[in-house]
């Protein structure tokens, strides 16, 4: 009989341009190697190229994960992987390897919701009790709170994710994608000082970013060539605008839920200016802010392992026939059987 506390879970993640394999035992991250598919400045990452990237490295990352954890396949108790949401071709590539090793090693399989992976990793690392969660990345922007066995979406983007807005703006002004466009925007923003007025689009509990992006796609060249502002000023202005919007909808959800904790997860959550602005709002409300560093904010395998562990210990398992991946997978579709 397996002691659930000592269960060792391996998690596979590759829904966007990061491919990672992580191993967790009893809430301890034993290994978490990851690679990022980085495109040249001005270019985004396409599904088939991304899948090709993941395919080329996934088996060596898997080997690395086992070696760094000092484990053999026989030590693994279950295999978790990202069922969705995300890009189709990369998701399939990763799922195929997860299914194959699960069968080879005779272990149960767990299809994990990517968003819930972020949430459970955030809860594990920060020990936040029952926070209002702001999940912000290149693919997702949601404000989430737990209630009665569901992670309920209180507010979200009605078009593109905030990270997508940032990434595509980076392409407009040809900022490097290494290590990530968002990181480079953050560094440039620190050197900006002139605030350029941009559309501010909060819609009740929700936000919209496609209008801001279109505005910048049209206006950036003119603003820069006329000398009205620098690229650094645009980075600064964009961050101030979109982050204010995120702070506003997070605060609105906190007020609804009577919550005194905020947890920021997802790649955009690495941004220190966002954390700073959220911190100011939290302080005003007497609330606590929780965030993780780039090891866990950015997509990684261990977060999938952690969510898989929670699912497994509360009795969930994914049958192979049901292990198909899905590009759309709402956070509130999952029954959170591991919480009261």
Partner 1 sequence: SSLDVPFPSSREANIALRSLSPDREPRKGGISKELTVSGSTRWSADEARILRVSVDSFLDHLLLVLETMEMFGSPVSQ
List binding-site positions for substrate.
135-139, 167, 182, 186, 271
- Report the nearest approach of partner 1 to the CB of residue 114 (Å): 16
Q: How far apart are CA 64 and CA 67, in angstroms?
A: 5
Strand partners, 206: 203
Q: How far apart are CA 46 and CA 272, in angstroms?
A: 28
From 168-176, 206-214, 256-264, 315-323, give the range in contact with partner 1 by CB under 8 A. Answer: 315-323
Tokens of 131: 């926070």
From 102-110, 214-222, 223-231, 248-256, give the range in contact with partner 1 by CB under 8 A. Answer: 102-110
Q: Are 262 and 131 in contact (CB under 8 A)?
A: yes
Question: Is residue 59 a contact point for partner 1 (CB under 8 A)?
Answer: yes
Place of tokens 């069922």: 83
- Among 46, 57, 96, 277, which residue interacts with partner 1 (rule: CB under 8 A)? 96
Q: How far apart are CA 57 and CA 17, in angstroms?
A: 12
Question: Is residue 262 a contact point for partner 1 (CB under 8 A)?
Answer: no
- Among 18, 25, 55, 123, which residue interacts with partner 1 (rule: CB under 8 A)? 55
Question: Is residue 53 a contact point for partner 1 (CB under 8 A)?
Answer: no
From 14-22, 127-135, 151-159, 322-330, give the range in contact with partner 1 by CB under 8 A. Answer: 322-330
- Name which of 41 and 73 has its Cβ closer to partner 1: 73
- Report the nearest approach of partner 1 to the CB of residue 97 (Å): 5
- Name which of 58 and 287 has its Cβ closer to partner 1: 58
Nearest partner of 186 among 207, 169, 209, judged by Cα: 169
Q: Which residues are CB-neighbours of 209 under 8 A, at least 6 positions away? A: 141, 157, 159, 160, 161, 162, 164, 165, 201, 242
- Report the nearest approach of partner 1 to the CB of residue 40 (Å): 25
Site string for partner 1, 2-41 (x = CB under 8 A): ----------------------------------------
- Among 50, 82, 93, 184, which residue interacts with partner 1 (rule: CB under 8 A)? 93
- Residue 212: phi and psi, rounded to 5, are -60, -45
Give the CA distances from residue 267 to residues 103, 117, 214, in Å, rounded to whole numbers and listed in that order.
Answer: 32, 13, 23
Question: Is residue 99 a contact point for partner 1 (CB under 8 A)?
Answer: yes
Give the CA distances from residue 163 to residues 88, 243, 252, 277, in Å, rounded to whole numbers and listed in that order.
Answer: 19, 11, 21, 17
Q: How far apart are CA 90 and CA 146, in angstroms?
A: 29
Question: Is residue 227 a contact point for partner 1 (CB under 8 A)?
Answer: no
- Among 23, 79, 97, 268, which residue interacts with partner 1 (rule: CB under 8 A)? 97
Q: In what order do the strands lie in the sheet with 261-265?
A: 150-156, 141-147, 132-136, 261-265, 288-291
From 25-33, 84-92, 159-167, 331-339, give the range in contact with partner 1 by CB under 8 A. Answer: 84-92
Binding site for partner 1 (CB under 8 A): 55, 59, 62-63, 73-74, 88-89, 92-93, 95-97, 99-101, 103-106, 320-325
């Amino acid at each position: 009989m397996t002691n659930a506390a000592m269960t060792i879970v391996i998690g596979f993640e590759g829904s966007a341009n990061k491919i990672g394999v992580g191993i967790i035992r009893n809430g301890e991250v034993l290994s978490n190697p990851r690679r990022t598919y980085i495109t040249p400045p001005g270019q985004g990452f396409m599904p088939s190229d991304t899948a090709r990237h993941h395919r080329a490295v996934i088996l060596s990352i898997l080997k690395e994960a086992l070696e760094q954890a000092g484990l053999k396949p026989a030590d693994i108790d279950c295999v978790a992987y990202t069922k969705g949401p995300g890009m189709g071709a990369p998701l399939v590539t990763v799922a195929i390897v997860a299914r194959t090793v699960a069968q080879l090693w005779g272990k149960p399989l767990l299809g994990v919701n990517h968003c819930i992976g972020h949430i459970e990793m955030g809860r594990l690392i920060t020990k936040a009790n029952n926070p209002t969660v702001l999940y912000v990345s290149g693919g997702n922007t949601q404000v989430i709170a737990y209630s009665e066995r569901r992670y309920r979406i209180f507010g979200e983007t009605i078009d593109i994710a905030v990270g997508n807005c940032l990434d595509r703006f980076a392409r407009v002004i040809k900022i490097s994608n290494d290590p990530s466009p968002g990181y480079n925007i953050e560094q440039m923003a620190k050197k900006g000082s002139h605030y350029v007025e941009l559309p501010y689009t909060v819609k009740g509990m929700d936000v919209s970013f496609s209008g801001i992006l279109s505005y910048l796609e049209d206006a950036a060249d003119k603003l820069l060539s006329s000398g009205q502002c620098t690229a650094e000023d645009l980075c600064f202005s964009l961050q101030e605008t979109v982050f204010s919007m995120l702070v506003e909808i997070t605060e609105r959800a906190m007020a609804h839920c009577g919550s005194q904790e905020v947890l920021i997860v997802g790649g955009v959550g690495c941004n220190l200016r966002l954390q700073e602005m959220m911190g100011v709002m939290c302080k005003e409300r007497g609330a606590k802010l929780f965030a993780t560093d780039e090891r866990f904010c950015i997509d990684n395998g261990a977060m999938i392992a952690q969510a898989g562990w929670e699912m497994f210990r509360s009795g969930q398992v994914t049958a192979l026939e049901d292990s198909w991946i899905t590009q759309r997978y709402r956070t509130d579709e999952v029954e959170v059987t591991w919480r009261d």
